[in-house]
Amino acid sequence: MVRIGVKKVAPEEARADLLALGLYADEQPPEGLTATAEPALSSGDFTGKPGQTALLYGGDALPSPRLLLVGLGGRSSFTPEKLRRTAATVSRRARALKARSVAFSLPTLEDADVATTARAAAEGAALGLYRFGRYKTGENNDDGGPEDFDLLVSGSGDEEAASRGAGIGEKVAGGTALARDLANEPSNTATPEYLAERAGEIGARYGMTVGVLDRAGIEEEGLTGLATVARSASNEPRFIVLEHRKGGGERPVVLVGKAVTFDSGGISIKPTTGMEDMKFDMGGGAAVLGAMEAVGALDLPLDVVAIVPATENLPGGDAFKPGDVLTMHGGKTVEILTTDAEGRLLLADALSYARRYEPAAVVDCATLTGACVVALGGHASGLMGNDEDLIAEVRTAGEATGERAWPLPLFDEYTEQIKGDTADLKNSGGRGGGALTAGAFLKEFADFPWAHLDIAGTAYGKKGNAYTTKGATGTPARLLVEFLIGRSG
């Protein structure tokens, strides 16, 4: 990973392979850079429009050989999210130029303090360089990006605040990169056992308690949903619990992440087209583990428990079948209408298991429904729950991190839709309101303040943006960390 630093140096005095300066629309560069920037400005080629760039060469005028101007757009509409993208544009350009060191003059934001600003810049710069290249043989996989990325600030007070913010941003980016790596990893590598090993490493790194149940342990604990989905899988399931106890023993926050390492649909098998994407069906678990990596690195003064139920969903002679009835952890019965609605079965187990912690709040995240992708596309996660304050808190954390979550309703009518004929509940409510009936199903197992993030549209993408690539985004690892930081105050 790139090292993010902070320096109290004026840009015209900074010495780096690439000097970068963000300029708001119709504003002028600082005195010492005017001469170098002048050709781009007077030609009208560079006006400060968002995302616009101009690469200039200062010759002897500057200690840095290259100056990159980056447009920030209007000052009053600039946000930390836009800064993440700007910093990523800079770090990617540095990589393209083979610049090993970057000095980026930290812009000032109207509505964010210096620490928040530096954090956003650090996150963007680091995440913009993320690549998943380990299976490309013959290509140079050492990433070739910049080694040092310094944020330039002007005041001494700023230096301290910016260092703090950049440090947080670096750790959050590290956790997010781990989440992306886990999710991008194909299902023949990222098995439930593999996830448990990675969780074990996080736990060992930061002194967390790690508990892992194997198939026998899962059955013994009565985690029926997980045991049933896993029955026909030859890669053994795991029920992973990580405890970070740094808060002094108050009620913990519990994070739950769905980790179906491959979702074929089971007996209710999915169509071939796009099935390869179902390796991402552990994106929730990946994000929870990534968030725990950041929680550990930040040493948050908080009690946090992560629960990741992990299995494959495959057809086989031993597979569960439509029509089967399960008696779940906690005693409720569920009739299976489709084996492709498997995620809610393992999440129900995890929620029910979470009761023993008497949690202050539980947030689960899961690539749960195609319906949520239809509703919100890739631009927001679906947000549901049983506690308005918690929902608002999660939504705010999403706003702050650029990992948007948008509230969806859990009206009683959605619960009616999943009332069973032969059993208490059925695992599908039919086509109408698919994201909401899935949420309503989970609600039946949530006996505490609870919020649910449906990340089916946001956990991975076909395109990528300035700081995400095609494939796993790591969402909502940053949202979760932000939420936890908010709770550690």
Question: Which residue numbers are catalytic?
Answer: 270, 344
Distance CA 337, CA 86 (A): 47
222 binds ligand BES (CB under 6 A): no
Distance CA 328, CA 226 (A): 10
458 binds ligand BES (CB under 6 A): no
Q: How far is the CB of 281 from ligand BES (least distance, A)?
A: 4
DSSP category for residue 271: P
Closest CA to 408 of 444, 436, 431, 434: 436
Q: Which of residues 246-265 bind Mn ion (CB under 5 A)?
A: 263
Closest CA to 180 of 474, 431, 443: 474
Q: Which is nearer to ligand BES, 150 or 185 (CB)?
A: 185
Which amino acid type is present at position 482? E
Q: Which is nearer to Zn ion, 62 or 456 (CB)?
A: 456
Residue 364 β-bridge partners: 256, 452
281 binds Zn ion (CB under 5 A): yes
287 binds ligand BES (CB under 6 A): no
- Listing DSSP states for 100-142 in one string gives SEEEEEPPP-TTS-HHHHHHHHHHHHHHHT----TT-TTS--S
Q: How far is the CB of 342 from Mn ion (least distance, A)?
A: 5
Alpha carbon of 469 to those of 128, 314, 373: distances in Å?
8, 28, 19
Q: Which is nearer to Zn ion, 93 or 258 (CB)?
A: 258
Which of Zn ion, ligand BES, Mn ion, none sits in contact with 128, Cβ below 5 to 8 A by type?
A: none
Residue 272, judged by CB atoms within 10 A of its CB (0-12, 13-18, 19+), counts as exposed
Q: Which is nearer to ligand BES, 153 or 436 (CB)?
A: 436
> Per CB under 6 A, which region of 44-52, 195-203, 244-252, 335-343 contacts ligand BES?
335-343
Among 165, 434, 474, 476, binds ligand BES (CB under 6 A): 434
454 binds Zn ion (CB under 5 A): no
Start-end of H helices in 185-214: 192-206
263 binds Zn ion (CB under 5 A): yes
260 binds Zn ion (CB under 5 A): yes
Among 263, 349, 364, 403, binds ligand BES (CB under 6 A): 263
Among 115, 242, 341, 365, binds ligand BES (CB under 6 A): 341
Distance CA 375, CA 177 (A): 27
> Per CB under 6 A, which region of 13-21, 38-46, 79-87, 340-348 contacts ligand BES?
340-348
> Per CB under 6 A, which region of 118-126, 219-227, 334-342, 345-353 contacts ligand BES?
334-342
312 binds ligand BES (CB under 6 A): no
Contact 456, 462 (CB under 8 A): no
What residue has token string 């990589």?
95
Distance CA 36, CA 308 (A): 53
Closest CA to 85 of 44, 33, 37, 125: 125
Contact 127, 169 (CB under 8 A): no
Q: Which is nearer to Zn ion, 224 or 264 (CB)?
A: 264
| Beta strands, E only, 376-438 | 381-385, 405-407, 425-426
Q: Which of residues 340-369 bind Mn ion (CB under 5 A)?
A: 340, 342
Contact 190, 218 (CB under 8 A): no
456 binds ligand BES (CB under 6 A): yes
Q: Which is nearer to Zn ion, 229 or 466 (CB)?
A: 229
> Per CB under 6 A, which region of 163-171, 221-229, 323-331, 369-377 contacts ligand BES?
369-377
Contact 45, 26 (CB under 8 A): no
Q: Which residue is nearest to Zn ion (CB)?
A: 263
Contact 302, 488 (CB under 8 A): yes
Greatest CA separation for the chain: 82
Q: How far is the CB of 320 from ligand BES (least distance, A)?
A: 14
62 binds ligand BES (CB under 6 A): no
Contact 199, 242 (CB under 8 A): yes
324 binds ligand BES (CB under 6 A): no
Question: Burial code of 445-460, b = ≥16 C-beta within 10 A, e = fewer?
Answer: bbbbbbbbbbbbbbbb
Start-end of H helices in 207-305: 215-220, 224-230, 283-298
Among 303, 340, 364, 444, binds ligand BES (CB under 6 A): 340
> Per CB under 5 A, which region of 242-250, 256-264, 423-431, 473-481 contacts Zn ion?
256-264
Q: Which of residues 332-351 bind Zn ion (CB under 5 A)?
A: 343
Which of Zn ion, ligand BES, Mn ion, none sits in contact with 456, Cβ below 5 to 8 A by type?
A: ligand BES
Q: Which is nearer to Zn ion, 159 or 281 (CB)?
A: 281
In the complex, the residues that contact ligand BES under the rule CB under 6 A are 263, 281, 338, 340-343, 367-371, 373, 428, 434, 456
In the complex, the residues that contact Mn ion under the rule CB under 5 A are 263, 340, 342
In the complex, the residues that contact Zn ion under the rule CB under 5 A are 260, 263, 281, 343
